[in-house]
Structure 1
Amino acid sequence: MSCPLAAALLLLASLGGIWWFQKGDLGAYRRFSALNDSRSRRMRFRLWLARSALAFLLPVLVGLALLARIDAMAVMPDEFAPIAATMPPILDSGEAMQGMLIGGAVGGLAIGAVLARVRKRKPLGNVSALLPRERREVKYAAALSIMAGVTEEAFFRLYLPLLFAMVTGQAGIGFVASLVLFGAMHRYQGWVGVVATTALGAVMTGLYLMTGSLWVVMLVHALVDLNGLVVTPMLGGVLKK
């Protein structure tokens, strides 16, 4: 089987995975919002973690292995090079740039912690149901943040654009389509959440193309989510014992 044909089949399978993940997700989120007992909420958190791994992480690992492109997890694919070359350089040294980005992300996390304490700031979008309500739920919110950072960046910043590039020969089409799908996937958060996550996705795409490092954008994404789902409620004084 030729690589373009295999990529086309894997692309269809990936789009089917997104559909499966989104099927009934809005209604499920509304039902989850109505849950009051922590045990039921923790069970739902575990289900979301499993679904995220099945819908996003597993297809990436299996698909890249089938295409003999597993190295793309560590080295940016050559298909992305023409677009990456158009990105403005931030620093001449890739290591220095990665250090700056990580430092900025960690600094942003610290600033978010201060704002959460001073202003009791709420994250953008309708994510109130995802915020932990007691300390036993904190680890699940943290796990969701880390899972989103790893799986969504691997899927939407690397895997989907690569498949589109292999099928169409145009990586730009893949990045745009992935960005649209990334925003639409968060429709349960309302239009504010869709806009905010689409903007975040655009930033992550730019960071990936400028650094060539998938793990950097995974880390930044996870820290952003940790700030909203863990730091804010913990320091905002809203958690039950």
Structure 2
Amino acid sequence: MLDPANPVMLVLLWLTLVGVLATLTLRTIRRDQREYRRFKKFRTTKRRQLMLRRWLLISFTLFGGMTAIALLASGRFAAPLLAEVQAWPWVSALLSILEARPSVTGGVIIGLIIGVVALTIVGVVAVRKEGDEIMSVGDIQAILPRNRQELVLGGLLSINAGVVEELLFRLALPALLFATTGNAIVAIVGSLVLFGLMHSYQGVAGIVGTAVIGAIFMAIYVLTGSILIAIIAHAVLDLRSLVVIPMAIGGVHRIDGRTTPRAFAAKPAPTAALPQTPEN
């Protein structure tokens, strides 16, 4: 662990932060946006699966590596940051209510579960009645699985995102920001903004929606004191989008990508006009 009280160590902490931010920026602007534009043009499941595997590997190694480096440099600041945020008056008051009334905590958890289930059901029913496009926040239609093989990759991507993104954006990066700036607000808000910007390939709606969802995950972490619960919540939400809904709406688990190589059904060819025959 690096000690910011030591000028040399503080410089190393800032260099670590700059390195993490530069890596995220380059990955988001130069790769994520470009690769997603290419991915949206793919018409065969083979190419889609190759890209999904690539994203899974890069996400695990890149985000996992940045998390490890950030925690090695500033991991000891995670607990003090959490304690300071929990001491904010409104957070402390909310924690007191939850601790004094376990039934309230149970009610909040049950309410969240019911809300997620209800939104899922409403989304499925709406798509079945109105059309074949799944309602979503941001441009994520292209990434939704089209067959059984893609569904497996969607599940792995969901679990991976829950683990590495929560460890990086709720634990490691806030700790690094807190170690360098000494400001808890900068650490929390900065990590949420970066989390939203990382999803810029989804468009403005995706950035805003992701930042809001990130704030919810951050609240879960702060109020429970457990990063594991935030990881589970994130993974479950992504599994809903990339596994449950595609299965419920499109029955993609019944489609074998090996026998259906095209990810999109071919449009029927226009019927050619028959030549008019002169009447006798």
Common topology (TM > 0.5)? yes
Q: Which digits, 9 at most, give the CA deviation of each residue in 1:109-134, with x for residues without a partner?
A: 54344334422252221101110011
| Distance apart, 1:146 and its partner CA | 1.2
Bigger mean CA offset, 151-160 vs 97-106 = 97-106
In structure 2, the CA distance between the partners of 1:136 and 1:93, relative to structure 1 (3 Å rule), is: farther
RMSD over equivalenced CA pairs, Å? 2.5
Matched, 1:9 2:15: yes
Matched, 1:65 2:72: yes
In structure 2, the CA distance between the partners of 1:48 and 1:94, relative to structure 1 (3 Å rule), is: farther
Matched, 1:45 2:49: no
Following the alignment from structure 1 to structure 2, what is the Cα–Cα distance between the partners of residues 138 and 100?
A: 33
Following the alignment from structure 1 to structure 2, what is the Cα–Cα distance between the partners of residues 94 and 78?
A: 26
The SS at the match of 2:250 is: coil
| Distance apart, 1:66 and its partner CA | 4.8
Contact 2:98/2:105, CA 8 A, preserved across alignment? no
Q: Which among 165, 176, 185 is matched to residue 172 of structure 1?
A: 185
Q: Which among 112, 118, 125 is matched to residue 118 of structure 1?
A: 125
Q: Which among 7, 21, 25 is matched to residue 27 of structure 2?
A: 21
Following the alignment from structure 1 to structure 2, what is the Cα–Cα distance between the partners of residues 124 and 11?
A: 30
Following the alignment from structure 2 to structure 1, what is the Cα–Cα distance between the partners of residues 63 and 102?
A: 28
In structure 2, the CA distance between the partners of 1:190 and 1:64, relative to structure 1 (3 Å rule), is: same
Aligned to 2:41: 34
Following the alignment from structure 2 to structure 1, what is the Cα–Cα distance between the partners of residues 103 and 43?
A: 47
- Corresponding residue pairs, total: 236
- The answer for unaligned runs of 5 or more in structure 2 is 5-9, 128-133, 256-280
Contact 1:8/1:167, CA 8 A, preserved across alignment? yes
Provide runs of 4+ in structure 1 moved above 3 Å.
Answer: 65-69, 93-113
Normalising by structure 2, we get a TM-score of 0.75
Following the alignment from structure 1 to structure 2, what is the Cα–Cα distance between the partners of residues 62 and 200?
A: 25
Normalising by structure 1, we get a TM-score of 0.86
In structure 2, the CA distance between the partners of 1:93 and 1:158, relative to structure 1 (3 Å rule), is: farther
| Distance apart, 1:61 and its partner CA | 2.0
Q: Which among 191, 198, 217 is matched to residue 211 of structure 2?
A: 198
| Distance apart, 1:7 and its partner CA | 2.4
Contact 2:162/2:233, CA 8 A, preserved across alignment? yes
Percent same amino acid at aligned positions?
Answer: 35
The SS at the match of 1:140 is: helix
| Distance apart, 1:176 and its partner CA | 1.0
Aligned to 1:79: 81
